């Protein structure tokens, strides 16, 4: 087992925290703990997004670095008379990654372990084995014998159920396995960018932001950016790793370990060309590896932040991650560290003149 350094401890604390959209209290407290030492002030907006402000020049442009706190998960909608829980997915799920997976149901009386039930193959017809189970027919088994017993344990409709998985450093210790990389890795990047700027000159005001409810429509990014009114926004999130069996280069171009992804286009935003050029020029100057990608079927918080106020040049920088929107994903530590380094160096160059040139040229 590798020795846990400060970074691995932070990543474990962030990813082990439980927080689906609308229930982000626990990861927000972890985020607050880690980012407060590097911020001049920390506050939340009305929806619950955390905003950490660090001033280099109070009259300089406002730079927003945003990851999101929420992870995909489930919400209990009903308890049947035998004590099984029916649920609603919160965020995008593919049914084939859900059956027989362990979850944690978070109640007012404490956490309860459950599993998404599945039929044994022995009783399935050949035809049924080939057919995916509809999510609406799934249930969570918490070992209760009745509705009353589940209620006694504190389970109520509206409680969240979170994928269970412990943070794990793999045999190749650059490969990190955990739930909720989408998007606690973005939160970690925001923390470390502020940390890197502690003793650096930056002619601007930097906001390290952890937004809520990204997975259900980029909602916290709307409220946080309305509060901040950024001049420049960078969303940090996960992207698709193309270096896995069954994924073609047409579907995803990036490889883990080859640098952060510069997103050219996604379903929520056309990336701002001037900001994109600045970021890649800085990376080229400093020999920081990066990759280009496009995500036609998804979006990031930049889809909301670029529409704040009169509009803010925005870009998504993402980390190629395997198996996102499932119980566990894998990413490469070098990509995380290179993203932090790149964004730190970009922020140091974003003075008023540079921001105006990006915005108005």
**Backbone φ, ψ for residue 88 (5° rounding):** -115, 135
For residue 127, the model assigns a pLDDT of 85
The per-residue pLDDT of the chain, averaged, comes to 95
CATH 2.40.30.40 domain range(s) in the chain = 73-163
Catalytic entry in 26, 58, 148, 214: 214
For residue 1, the model assigns a pLDDT of 53
For the segment 244-275, what is each residue's pLDDT rounded down to a tens digit? 998 888 888 899 999 999 999 998 999 999 99
For the segment 213-255, what is each residue's pLDDT rounded down to a tens digit? 999 999 999 999 999 999 999 999 999 999 999 888 888 889 9
- Bridge-based pairing state of the strands 314-321 and 261-266: antiparallel
For residue 2, the model assigns a pLDDT of 63
Stretch 283-298: mean pLDDT: 93
CATH 3.40.630.10 domain range(s) in the chain = 6-71+179-360
Distance set, CA 233 to CA 266, 296, 310 (Å)? 16, 20, 13
Nearby residues of 261 by Cβ (< 8 Å), 6 or more positions away: 239, 254, 290, 291, 292, 293, 317, 318, 319, 320
Domain 6-71+179-360 has CATH 1.10.1040.10: no
What does the block give as tokens for 45? 């907006």
Give the C-alpha separation, 280 to 289, whole Å. Answer: 9
| Span of 2-6, 37-41, 82-86 with lowest mean pLDDT | 2-6
Stretch 96-103: mean pLDDT: 96
Residue 122, pLDDT > 90, answer no
CATH fold, domain 73-163, is Elongation Factor Tu (Ef-tu); domain 3 (2.40.30)
For residue 73, the model assigns a pLDDT of 98
To the question of pTM greater than 0.85 for the whole model, the response is: yes
214 assigned to active site: yes
């Amino acid at each position: 087992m590798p020795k846990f350094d400060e970074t691995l401890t932070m990543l474990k604390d962030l990813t082990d925290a439980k927080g689906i959209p609308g229930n982000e209290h626990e990861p927000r407290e972890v985020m607050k703990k880690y980012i407060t030492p590097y911020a001049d002030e920390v506050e939340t907006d009305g929806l619950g997004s955390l905003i950490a402000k660090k001033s280099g020049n109070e009259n300089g442009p406002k730079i927003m670095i945003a990851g999101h706190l929420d992870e995909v998960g489930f919400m209990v909608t009903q308890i049947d008379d035998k004590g099984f829980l029916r649920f609603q997915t919160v965020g995008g799920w593919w049914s084939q990654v859900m059956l027989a997976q362990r979850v944690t149901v978070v109640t007012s009386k404490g956490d309860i372990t459950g599993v998404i039930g599945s039929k044994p193959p022995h009783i399935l017809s050949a035809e049924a084995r080939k057919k995916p189970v509809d999510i609406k027919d799934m249930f969570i088994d918490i070992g209760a014998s009745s509705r009353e017993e589940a209620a006694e344990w504190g389970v109520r409709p509206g409680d969240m159920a979170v994928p269970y998985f412990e943070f794990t450093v793999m045999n190749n210790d650059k490969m990190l396995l955990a739930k909720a990389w989408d998007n606690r890795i973005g939160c970690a990047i925001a923390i470390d960018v502020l940390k890197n700027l502690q003793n650096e000159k930056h002619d601007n005001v930097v906001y390290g932001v952890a937004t809520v409810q990204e997975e259900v429509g980029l909602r916290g990014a709307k409220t946080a950016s309305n509060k901040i009114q950024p001049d420049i926004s960078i969303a940090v999130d996960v992207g698709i790793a193309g270096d896995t069996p069954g994924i073609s280069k047409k579907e995803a171009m990036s490889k883990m370990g080859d640098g952060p992804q510069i997103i050219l286009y996604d379903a929520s935003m056309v990336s701002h060309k001037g900001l994109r050029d600045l970021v890649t020029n800085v990376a080229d100057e400093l020999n920081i590896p990066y990759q280009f990608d496009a995500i036609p079927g998804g979006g990031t918080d930049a889809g909301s932040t670029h529409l704040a106020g009169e509009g803010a040049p925005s870009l998504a920088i993402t980390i190629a991650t395997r198996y996102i929107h499932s119980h566990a994903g894998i990413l490469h530590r070098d990509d995380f560290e290179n993203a932090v380094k790149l964004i730190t160096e970009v922020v140091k160059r974003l003075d008023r003149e540079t921001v105006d040139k990006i915005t108005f040229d």
